[in-house]
Structure 1
Amino acid sequence: MMSNYIRELHPQDLWNNFYRLTRIPRPSGHEEKIRSFIADFGKNLGLETSVDEVGNVIIRKPATAGMEMCKGVILQAHLDMVPQKNSGTLHDFENDPIETIVDGDWVRACGTTLGADNGIGVAAAMAVLEATLLPHGPIEVLFTSDEERGMSGAIGLKPGLLKGEILLNLDSEDDGELCIGCAGGVNGTMSFSFNGEAVPAGYTGFSITVTGLKGGHSGVDIHLGRGNANKIMNRILFEGHARCGLLLASIDGGSLRNAIPRESIATVAVPVAGVESFLDALSVVSGKIKDELSLTEPALCIEAIPAETPEMIIEEPVFVKLLKAVYACPNGVMRMSSEMAGLVETSTNLAIVRSSHAALTIECLLRSSVDSAREELQVMISSLFDLAGARSLFDKGYPGWKPNPDSPILKKMREIYIASFGKVPEIRAVHAGLECGIIGGTYPALDMISFGPTIRYPHSPDEKVNIASVRKFRDFLLEILGKVAIER
């Protein structure tokens, strides 16, 4: 059942708001329309609404009568979504709405990311702002900008804007879990300069594609052993160069730092006399890769299709440096946490390998809940690329969120969850970047916690949200607001 049917799901207030969000394009970096929509939403409710200099929207709702002296609660969610689609799906994330499908117990999109991350959190906050019968203390809603691309909204949030004492981050993805900590991260960009050269005589062109991978969130899903399109493509190119002298004209792998790369395409030149050897080598290495990933990536597709011979190639010495550096570059889980069972401590995602007219660029996202471990991984990667002759740049990154097991709001929410649902919630930290660490650095007195409904495969076209968990999430949120207001 398509698109507007989700408006009939329960709770209707939340799902109707989520439907409205799916109509508004909101990929990271292109949030003008959603920002305007949310600001108008607050103003039309007669609520104090402001937009700060980095594009965050803040809406304040006064306490209900008699609750004015209760603790102020900040609800926080981000406006943007990750734009990912299946190959062959015609979708313009800057202009087209997201088409949704009710698929049994789940809602998903039609060949694209759904935007439940973090659209469900935004829709829940909107429902709270609209509610007329809910008893509550002072409420602020902070809708942050550009979370998925670098958390610039949270980073740019100024001191003194927020008045509340408790922050509820609505950006977690597992029903029954209360999140009290997350990893910090840093983005790395490495680049090789090159001079284009004319293709030697006696060469022909091929287009090599790696498709069909699951991808996923580079923090939440990094431990699942999924294929990395950039690593796979590099392995193919390495073998082709070694076996028959394959040369690289262009490459475009991955699209976002925080998504495990699902696809890569390379245009290459192969000696006419070595075409048979190249195809044999491709068959052998593809078979090995597919065997290795047979359980995690059953839809992996590796193809080489004859193409026009490219006019220019990347000079061979630089191409070889790229091959060796990408082969050696770490990717995936580096260390598991010694403090929390099953939690990844440190990881890196080899997210993007891309050529332009004069440069080869490699982008990674390094995550860790231990700052020193993240710093060591940064030195490791920069040392590798320095030795290969590349230039390495790392941004300032963002801090992790240190767990506070003695948090008063954690204690209260645990009690409410047990009373509401008859079971004990799991208390955990996540190997993903939440804005709590950044916001907590600016507002250190905040008591923070993160929770949400069950969302699977975020940052990929397989993203889906469980319908029943959305109702629990919304009911839990309303119960928290009422109880916190009563029991200061």
Structure 2
Amino acid sequence: MTALSQLQPQALWQWFEQICAIPHPSKHEHALSEHIQAWAKDKQLELVEDKVGNLIIKKPATPGMENRKVVALQAHIDMVPQKNSDKVHDFEKDAIEPYIDGEWVKATGTTLGADNGIGMASALAILGSDDIPHGPLEVLLTIDEEAGMTGAFGLEAGYLDAEILINTDSEQEGEIYMGCAGGADGEITLPISWQAPAADSQTLNLTIAGLRGGHSGVDIHLGRGNANKLLARFLFDNALTLGLELSHFQGGSLRNAIPREATATLNVSAAKLAELQKAVTEYENLLKQELSITEPNLALTLVETSNATQVISTEAQTSLVNLMHACPNGVVRMSDEIEGVTETSLNLGVITTGEDKVTLLCLIRSLMDSGRENVEGHLSALSQLAGAKIAFSGTYPGWKPDNSSPVMALVRETYDSIYNKEPVIMVIHAGLECGLFKKPYPEMDMVSIGPTIRFPHSPDEKVLIETVGQYYQLLLAVLERIPEKG
């Protein structure tokens, strides 16, 4: 497929190449799961698939290390399915197309799935090895992490014997993660009614595209444009003065990815068409000035489309435009305790138009439950003012940092001994599954490490090749140094 399998460490990259070849978007991981299960059975490894579809694979200790503490390596099977608009790709059927670009591995027009495919590949490579020293080992592969953490929510006590869990879902080499944000999904539904369009109007699609997008947690502080918010801003500024009639709004595709594209279908009178075209050009120029560094490829297009037979009623359109424009988005508060880390944020990820309603999907993240609850209050108040309904779901806890964690100290000391420098101890503004694992396994000592991955949850996703080897070297060294059972 590519030259990936020739990279070092070879066993890891060979596994990652296999992972890329088998479709595994969230909620459609069955083919990859079956492939892994067949391999584990062939290797005569102990294998269990739990009630929700998580895989637990166990491997005995290498000779002489039987009395070490049991360690679980953890990754999630699924990947975020995002592609460029001009890329023909069915994530449920088509393989990811990875390629080497200098120091990086990228994918052709889609997300790469290094999040969390590299971590999964590292765990499977260790399971398949004959020469890596380790104590009793368990590998936990969870399902549906990116679309609701169904696997982590469904994990029950009794499946794992591990005292230590190493999560492999971090995305910066040289950093050890010992805490993460919790979160919740917010779904706002605004009822709409319809009316006939003005007799002398024509229908056009106004699209904003070319935005960088990215992970709604780790990239939220970078000031990238949110396609939904930018298009709503144009409508708020121009719909009334230009007499625009809105019949459809569609933006974003995942609540945990910063939306890269959005389209509004508009009716405008012939007399106002030139003004609309001028307003679009001026707005595009304005955004290119405001976002010149973060969004160099931003573009607005206005093209004719088939005539709409109905448009959203004037009253409903006003409520909708106000709601979209007023909806908070981005960083709400930076952490006082941890410099440079976002404490609370919100991503207006998806907007869709149905027969009788428009739906806005948001993802709230916070290191503090009170921060999440505060944002939920803002959204509830805004929804009430707009005449909309709101529902919150999928609430998951954060992973509270433990400064006295023995495994964190072990990883830090091991890193220092290998690279002669101390790693950075961090808390990540993203939803690692560790917080959920604390419910069935409250005494488990956990840490998270990984290679350097840039722009996850977007087609620009890439993983730095050198750091994959560094991460793997650290992981193997930690496994060799795991202490004996008490």
- Deviation, 1:137, is 1.3
- 3-state SS, counterpart of residue 442 of structure 1: coil
Runs of 4+ in 1 over 4 A off after TM superposition: 485-488
1: distance between equivalents of 2:435 and 2:239?
45
Aligned: 1:263 with 2:261: yes
8 Å Cα contact 1:243-1:281 kept in structure 2:
no
8 Å Cα contact 2:5-2:17 kept in structure 1:
yes
2: distance between equivalents of 1:358 and 1:41?
48
1:11-90 residue pairs with structure 2 within 5 A? 11-90=9-88
Which amino acid in structure 2 is aligned with residue 290 of structure 1? K
Which amino acid in structure 2 is aligned with residue 194 of structure 1? I
Which amino acid in structure 2 is aligned with residue 376 of structure 1? N
Which amino acid in structure 2 is aligned with residue 158 of structure 1? E
- Deviation, 1:125, is 0.3
- Deviation, 1:457, is 0.5
Which amino acid in structure 1 is aligned with residue 361 of structure 2? E
Q: What residue ranges of structure 1 are gaps of 5+ in the alignment?
A: none
Question: How many aligned positions are there?
Answer: 486
- Deviation, 1:195, is 2.5
Q: What residue ranges of structure 2 are gaps of 5+ in the alignment?
A: none
8 Å Cα contact 1:239-1:281 kept in structure 2:
no
* Equivalent residue in structure 2 for 1:115, among 87, 108, 113: 113
8 Å Cα contact 2:67-2:484 kept in structure 1:
no
2: distance between equivalents of 1:396 and 1:251?
25
2: distance between equivalents of 1:29 and 1:199?
40
Report what 1:96 is aligned to: 94
8 Å Cα contact 2:170-2:450 kept in structure 1:
yes
1:69-468 residue pairs with structure 2 within 5 A? 69-468=67-466
Q: Percent identity?
A: 48
Which amino acid in structure 2 is aligned with residue 447 of structure 1? D
- Deviation, 1:254, is 0.3
Q: CA RMSD in A?
A: 1.2
8 Å Cα contact 2:364-2:372 kept in structure 1:
yes
Q: CA-to-partner distance for each residue in 1:182-237, whole Å, 9 max, x for gaps?
A: 00000000011222333231110101111000000000000000000000111122
8 Å Cα contact 1:230-1:350 kept in structure 2:
yes
TM-score by length of 2: 0.98
1: distance between equivalents of 2:391 and 2:63?
54
1: distance between equivalents of 2:158 and 2:81?
33
Q: CA-to-partner distance for each residue in 1:114-152, whole Å, 9 max, x for gaps?
A: 000000000000001001112211111000000001111
- Deviation, 1:486, is 5.8
- Deviation, 1:239, is 2.8
Q: CA-to-partner distance for each residue in 1:281-312, whole Å, 9 max, x for gaps?
A: 22222222221111110100011112221112
8 Å Cα contact 1:136-1:485 kept in structure 2:
no
8 Å Cα contact 1:243-1:278 kept in structure 2:
no
- 3-state SS, counterpart of residue 105 of structure 2: strand
8 Å Cα contact 1:73-1:138 kept in structure 2:
yes
- 3-state SS, counterpart of residue 58 of structure 1: strand
Which amino acid in structure 2 is aligned with residue 230 of structure 1? N
Which amino acid in structure 2 is aligned with residue 43 of structure 1? K
Which amino acid in structure 2 is aligned with residue 480 of structure 1? V
1: distance between equivalents of 2:158 and 2:169?
23
1: distance between equivalents of 2:242 and 2:132?
71
2: distance between equivalents of 1:81 and 1:181?
22
Which amino acid in structure 1 is aligned with residue 467 of structure 2? S
1: distance between equivalents of 2:380 and 2:34?
40
